[in-house]
Amino acid sequence: MNKKPMLIPEFKVVDYSKSLDFYTQLVGFEVLYERPEEDFAMLEMNHARLMIEGISSKTRSWFVGQLERPLGRGMHLQIEVNDVSHLHQRFKEEEYPIFLDLEEKWYRVKDQEVGHRQFLVQDPDGYLLRFFEEIGRRFPIKEKQKF
């Protein structure tokens, strides 16, 4: 049984076709459904969902402020992928700008650490995306007590 995600962000985009191409052709999302007459698509990849909607007179919009690039300032989305190295290579081959190059990073979660291989890019509108795959868990090395 596939459970629907409890949170699905919607990105307002300047060029709907360019953004749809970015997310489907480069990143690998699939279109679950689309309303081209509204410049709207629901996308999914590995159980992660994302909506994109063009900024146009075709859509109703709930704007809370001026829309200036980069959009989504102050936040980024973390998206788990099956093969982060392959996706990173695809961005490199397309000569797409990488915001933060591929790295291995360990994050403390309670009494252990979770490892990620990850990299960051901005989509065509400046939304920051962190693609990652988990590489394992470990217990952190504790400092030796001094007597």
* Domain boundary assignment for the chain: 7-58, 73-142
**Three-class SS of 26-41:** HHCCEEEEEEHHHCEE
Q: Sheet harboring 112-122: ordered strands across?
A: 76-80, 128-138, 112-122, 100-109
pLDDT for the residue 41: 97
pLDDT digit string (tens) for 101-116? Answer: 999 999 999 999 999 9
pLDDT for the residue 11: 93
The model carries a pTM of: 0.86
If one looks up domain 73-142 in CATH, what number appears?
3.10.180.10
pLDDT for the residue 132: 97
Percent of the chain with pLDDT over 90: 71
Query: What's the distance, Cα to Cα, between the start and end of the chain in Å?
Result: 56
Q: Distance between CA atoms of 132 and 146, rounded to whole angstroms?
A: 38
pLDDT for the residue 113: 94
Fold of the domain built from segment(s) 7-58: 2,3-Dihydroxybiphenyl 1,2-Dioxygenase; domain 1 (3.10.180)
> In terms of Cα–Cα distance, which of 122, 34, 36 is closest to 76?
122
Topology alike, domains 7-58 and 73-142:
yes
* Stretches in the chain below the pLDDT threshold 50: none
pLDDT for the residue 73: 83
